[in-house]
Amino acid sequence: MSDGMQWIVRFELPNGGPGPDTVASDDLAGEFDAVVVLLLRDHYCQVSRERATAYSEAFDEFAAEDVAVVAALPDTAERAGYWRRRYELTYPVLADSAEGPAAAEVDAGGATAMTDGTPRFDAFSDIEVGVDTLPGIGVLDTRSKFPRLVHTEGGETLQKCPSPSEALDAACDALET
């Protein structure tokens, strides 16, 4: 993400994980100073599955720093619910897939947002654009009226997705500025 650039990222998405059926940025902003959004590639990505589990295991560390964790899949609420159950995730798993002509192109094997073929996100498209590849993370500063995207990070390869400790450090660093 470019230095000094901050995008407003607001969302209200179906949740397949624990908590309410729908998770909204405004609700998280009322409870937490920051939100780490973990963008997952798809169900077949081993690195995404490993990262989702690792973030779940580190959930208490994030909560202790007043940082929420949510994962997002470019898929349906049913698939998000499957992820939550299959990998015993302790945080919301949001369904965020693009709708309309762009989604139809993806379904037909056409153009996608990511050069590696990953389907396009909708509400989290600004985070998706800021990472090199998925899985990746975005950090939202939720201390002001609107959640601001203050950090994005993905790896140059699939295996370089930020670990939970790296994501927590990025969130804490962003809150100090």
- Class assignment of domain 7-176? alpha beta
- What pLDDT is stored for residue 109 in this prediction? 45
Rounded mean pLDDT, 42-57: 91
Report the mean per-residue pLDDT for the chain.
86
State the burial class of residue 163 (Cβ atoms within 10 Å of its Cβ: 0-12, 13-18, 19+).
Answer: middle
Provide the pLDDT confidence category of residue 103 given band limits of 50, 70 and 90: very low
Would you say residue 2 has pLDDT above 70? no
Q: Is the N-terminal amide bond of 135 cis, ω within 30° of 0?
A: yes
Assign 101 a pLDDT band (cuts: 50, 70, 90): very low
Residue 106 has pLDDT above 50, yes or no: no
Distances (CA, A) of 169 to 85, 141, 156: 28, 14, 19
Write down the pLDDT at residue 52. 95
| pTM > 0.75: yes or no | yes
- Per-domain residue ranges of the chain: 7-176
Q: What is the reported pLDDT for 110?
A: 40
Question: Exposed, middle or buried by CB within 10 Å (0-12, 13-18, 19+), for 160?
Answer: middle
**DSSP for 68-124?**
EEEEEESS-HHHHHHHHHHHT-SS-EEE----SHHHHHHHTT---SSTT-PPPPSTT
pLDDT of residue 117: 54
Confidence check: pLDDT of 105 > 50: no
* Contact in structure between 92 and 73 (CB atoms under 8 Å): no
pLDDT, position 116: 56
Q: 67-82, pLDDT tens digit by residue? A: 999 999 999 999 999 9
Residue 114 has a pLDDT of 54
- Between CA 60 and CA 117 the distance in angstroms is 33
